[in-house]
Amino acid sequence: MPEERRGLRAALESLRDATCDLTSLEVQTYTGNLEVLFDKDKEVNIASFEKVLEKVKVSGTLKLAAMTKVNLDGDTFLLTSENDLPLHVQRAHDAAVQAGMETRAALLSLFANVIGIGG
């Protein structure tokens, strides 16, 4: 199999693993002061995501600021903190919601057309 087709195969296999459930889309946005975790003078290893999260949890400074759940039928559930979120935080949350919705809708459209061909 040519390399580019192997690439497509690999990408689709990861998609199969990743999208076991397209029906529910959920975004949770947390805010907190993560500064304590790092030495400002040192290069941060941003690849160690899991370790960072473990430390954040220990620090206890993380707060759920917003949560959005969008079902496949369009029903949307929204949870936000009492205080207004800073604009850039709100934007980040909205961007994740939008990205999820676009990705889901586009994938479903693609699969629908593929299944249409098979049928």
Partner 1 sequence: MAYNFTEGLEHFRQLALAPQAALHAPDEMLFNSLTALRQDFDLASKRGIFNPLPESEPPIAQDAPRLRTIRSRLAGLGYLRQDAGLPIRDPLLIHAIKKFQQDAGLTTDGWVGRQTWQALQELVSFERQGDIGRWFIGNNGPCRALERAIALRLQVLGLTDTPACHEPAGLAAGLQRLQSVAAFLQLPGKEKIRPEVCPATIALLFDQDLLVEGLAAGHPLPNDADHPLFAFAACMAKVELWLAGYEVTPNGYEGKEFFRPTPQILLLGNDSELFAALAAYWRDHGKKEESPLLAQRFAGEFPAFFRMITAAIRAGKGLAATEKSAMISRMAGKQPEQLAAIWQTALSLGGRMWDGLGRAAGWLRNLTRQPGGKMVGIGRNISRLVYHQAMTAFELARQALQDFPVLLDQAFSREPAGSDPRHIMMRHDRDLAFKVYVNTMGDPAQINHFTAQVSRTAASFAAACRIIALCLSTLHTMVSQGRTGWAGLILALLQVSDQIMAHGRHLAPAPDSTGPGRLPRF
Q: Judged by CB, which is closer to partner 1: 8, or 78? A: 8
Report in angstroms how near the CB of residue 86 gets to partner 1 at its nearest. 7
Report in angstroms how near the CB of residue 71 gets to partner 1 at its nearest. 11
Instruction: Note every long-range contact of 107-114, with CB atoms under 8 Å and residues 24 or more positions apart, other chains counting.
Output: 107/15, 107/19, 107/22, 108/22
Radius of gyration of the chain (CA): 19
Q: Judged by CB, which is closer to partner 1: 5, or 58? A: 5
Report in angstroms how near the CB of residue 74 gets to partner 1 at its nearest. 14
